[in-house]
Structure 1
Amino acid sequence: MNLNEAFLDFLVEAKKKSYASQGDDASVEPKLEGSQQLEFQNGDFFYRDIYFGMSYFIGQETVYYQEKPIWSMVYSGGVNSKQDIKDARTIYSFLRKAMREVNLDTPFRGPKQFTEGNFIYSDSHEGSIELFKGIENISFRDEKVYRLSYSGGSIR
C-alpha cells in the first residue's frame, strides 16, 4: 500500500469514527476557545476537526502525517433558520448516518445520495482529493432543511 492509499484509508476511517459515529461526544479539550474539537489517530496519521457553532457552523478538518499537515478541508453550513433546536438535532442525527457511508471514491463528506424515511441526503462535488469543492444538502419531505459548502485539498 502506498502513502496515498494509506492516507485515503485513514481519512475514511477517521471520518467514520469521529463526528459521524460520536457527534459532539467525540470532542476533546479544544485548543480554540468556544470550539468543538474532534481527533483521531492511527499510526503516523492524525486527524483533527475543529468547528464553531451548531445551527450554523464553520470548521476545518486537517490530516497530519508524521506530525506534518498534508491535507485539509474547510466547511460551513447548517440547518435553515426556521428549524428549532429539536429539528436540528434530528437533522444532525440523520447527517451522521449519511456521513458513516463515506467511502474511498468520495472521501469528502457522505455518499452521493442517502435516504432514510422522509430524509434525503445529497452530495455533489467536483475535483479530486488534491483539490475539490462541494455542497451537501438534506431535504425532509421535499423541503431543504440543511446545506453545507466545503472545499479543500492537499497541502503543498
Structure 2
Amino acid sequence: MSSIPGDLAAFLVEAKRHTYAGMDDDATAAPLLRGSKQLEHRAAPYAYRDIYFGMGFFVGQETVSRDDRVVWSMSYSGGVRAEITDRDIFLAIYKFLRQALLDVSVEYPFRGPHLFEQAGMIYRNEVEGALDRFHGVETIARQDGVPLYAVRYSGGLLR
C-alpha cells in the first residue's frame, strides 16, 4: 500500500482534469443515484467517480478505487452565495471555478491551487493535511473582496 499515495496523487490530477474541471458536465456518466450528476475517469488500476447533487448549493463525494476497492474519498459541499440569482453571473463563477480547478497539482490533488486570479475574480484554497487525511475551504470573491462562492471539503485514504 505504500506505493498508493504517489500514484494516487498523479491519477487524481489526471481524473480531475478529465472530468468537471476540463469537461464540465460533458463528462457525465449514467448516474447510480437518481437526481445526481456522476462523472467518471478510468486509468488502470484506478477508477475515479464524482457524484454530486445540486448546482447553486451542492453536496458531493469523490472516490478512487484501485483494483475495484475504494482506497480514497473526499466529500464536499457549498456553492454560489444564495443571493446570486443572475444566471450569467452564476455561469461566469462556475466557468472561472473550472479554470482554477484545472490548475490542480500533485502536491495538493484535492481541489485547485492556493491562489488563482482571472476575469476579475480571485480563487483561494486553504487546505490542511496531506493525501492521507485533509480538509479545506475554497472560496471565490470578486477582486473588490465581495464573496461569491465557498465550498468545504475533507477526505483521505481509507483503511
Question: Could you tell me how far 1:73 is from its partner in structure 2?
Answer: 0.2
Deviations 1:9-39 (A, max 9, x none): 1011001110001111111110000000000
Of residues 98, 103, 109 in structure 2, which corresponds to 1:96?
98
Farther off after superposition, 31-40 or 117-126: 117-126
Deviations 1:96-153 (A, max 9, x none): 0000000011111000000003110000011111111000000013211000000000
**Once superposed, which parts of structure 1, at least 4 consecutive aligned residues long, lie more than 4 Å away?**
none
Equivalent-residue separation in structure 1 for 2:91 and 2:23 (angstroms)? 13
8 A contact 2:5–2:131 mirrored in 1: no
What secondary structure, in the 3-state scheme, does the structure 1 residue paired with 2:108 have? coil
Equivalent-residue separation in structure 2 for 1:36 and 1:117 (angstroms)? 27
Question: Could you tell me how far 1:86 is from its partner in structure 2?
Answer: 2.1
What secondary structure, in the 3-state scheme, does the structure 2 residue paired with 1:51 have? strand
Give 1:144's aligned residue. 147
Equivalent-residue separation in structure 2 for 1:87 and 1:44 (angstroms)? 40
Structure 2: runs of 5+ lacking an equivalent: none
Question: Could you tell me how far 1:46 is from its partner in structure 2?
Answer: 0.1
Structure 1: runs of 5+ lacking an equivalent: none
Give 2:130's aligned residue. 128
Please tell me the residue identity of whatever aligns with 2:105: N
Give 1:49's aligned residue. 50
Equivalent-residue separation in structure 1 for 2:150 and 2:36 (angstroms)? 20
Aligned length: 156
Please tell me the residue identity of whatever aligns with 2:134: F
Question: Could you tell me how far 1:7 is from its partner in structure 2?
Answer: 1.2
Please tell me the residue identity of whatever aligns with 1:69: V
Equivalent-residue separation in structure 1 for 2:80 and 2:4 (angstroms)? 37
Equivalent-residue separation in structure 2 for 1:90 and 1:33 (angstroms)? 27
User: Sequence identity of aligned pairs in percent?
Assistant: 43
Please tell me the residue identity of whatever aligns with 1:114: F
The TM-score normalised by the length of structure 2 is 0.95
Equivalent-residue separation in structure 2 for 1:48 and 1:147 (angstroms)? 22
Give 1:40's aligned residue. 41
Give 2:63's aligned residue. 62
